[in-house]
Amino acid sequence: MYFREEADSSLGKLVISLKKFLADNETEASLMRMVKLLLQGIALHSMEGDPVDRARFRDSIDRVERRLDEDIAPPELLVLSGSALQALEDYNRRTNRYLRQQSVEFQTMVKMLTSTVSAITAAGDANVRQLQEIEKQVEAATEIEDVRQIKGRLSDCLDGIRRETERQRSETARAAEDLMRGLQSAQAGSSTDSSTAPDPVTGLPPRKRAEEAFAQASKDEAQAYVMAVVIDRIQILNTRFGYEVGDEIMRYFAGFLKSQLQPKDLLFRWTGPTLAGLLFRANRLERVRDDIGRIMELKYEHTVRTASRTILLPISVRWALFPMMASPRLLTQKIENFISFQSSHD
């Protein structure tokens, strides 16, 4: 180890210095001070090893220091120096063995983590690769500072694993809730049509209600327009942060948009990240488009909380406006074409 080489060199310099002092007939007090300072430096800067071995080493150095306080002849300093060197060699030998044992235990721990993460989830491939890299670094580590850096990387990796586990737990709970709702809906019997129930995320009426409203407005020949709004990056947010974040963004924007429309207007959850609106307006298409454009062009942001942090997310949307047509089916097709076109450009 580097420390041992430096310590041996220091003690060798001590012996040379002692011989020089003895040859030059320097005073005993000066020799004692020099030796004590060197012994204190060795004890203070010795490598961190097993606490028991380190305590034994410090006791040995203390005994040498106490011996120096006794009435001894200058030549005996060489003998005391040899005692200090022997104590240091013994401590270095024990510390090297201690660090090797720690390295083996560390390697075993990383291997177990790698194996466990591989078995838990296929989605943890990135974490597995990172653990495998850390495992190789542990095997190659020779300095205590290397181990400390590896511990830092391992901590970051484990934090990523915890986030991935929390995300999967949330998705599993969501899937279980969806399944439970489906079972409850099925048990309610044919008297309840689940396709007309409010959307569980936004609380808005579903697509079927929207199609019925379009058909009724067309039948009544109402002066109305149909609006389609696609909220960007919902799928990316679901993948990166979990479905709770994507749902919260949908819920927030749907509530905000509804508050900006006129009281007689209707807003629906169409499908996926798409909302549909039925706007009862007597104005020309250009005027209605300008009114909606002012709402859509505002800068939207919303703060969400994940398992590990709070994030301020920007919200952007794309939208289209269609005049009410005699054929609601053709109107529905226009909305679907708009959604497909937007998806192809994501």
Give the model confidence (pLDDT) of 30-67 as tens digits: 666 666 666 766 766 666 667 777 777 777 777 777 77
Whole-number Å distance between alpha carbons of 25 and 123: 76
Phi, psi values for residue 108, rounded to 5°: -60, -40
Please say if the pLDDT value at position 293 is more than 70: yes
Q: Which amino acid is at 60?
A: S
* pLDDT tens digits, 121-147: 544 566 666 766 776 776 666 556 666
pLDDT in tens, 304-323: 887 778 888 889 999 999 99
Per the prediction, the chain carries an average pLDDT of 76
Sheet holding 266-271, edge to edge: 266-271, 274-280, 224-231, 317-323
Q: Distance between CA 88 and CA 98 in Å, rounded?
A: 15
Q: What pLDDT, on a 0 to 100 scale, did the predictor assign at position 251?
A: 94
Distance CA 321, CA 295 (A): 13
Helical packing angle, 28-44 and 51-68, nearest 10°: 170
pLDDT at 199: 93
Q: What is the mean pLDDT of residues 163-171?
A: 70
Residue 18 has a pLDDT of: 47
> pLDDT-based confidence at 114, cuts 50/70/90?
low
d(CA 293, CA 298): 9
- Quick one: pLDDT at residue 4? 43
Residue 258 exposed, middle or buried by CB count within 10 Å (0-12, 13-18, 19+)? middle
Residue 279: its pLDDT value, please?
96
Q: What is the pLDDT of residue 241?
A: 85
How much is the pLDDT for 45? 61
Beta strands at 274-280 and 317-323: parallel, antiparallel or unpaired:
unpaired
How far is it, in rounded angstroms, from Cα 125 to Cα 129? 6
Query: Higher pLDDT residue, 163 or 145?
Result: 163
The two structure tokens encoding residue 233: 């990056």
- In terms of pLDDT, which residue wins out, 244 or 29? 244
Structural domains present in the chain? 2-99 (no CATH), 199-344 (3.30.70.270)
93: pLDDT confidence band, cut at 50, 70 and 90? confident
* pLDDT at residue 180 in the model: 65
**Is 22's pLDDT higher than 50?**
no
The per-residue pLDDT for 144 is 60
5 has a pLDDT exceeding 70: no
Residue 65's pLDDT is 72
Phi, psi of 276 (to 5 degrees): -130, 140
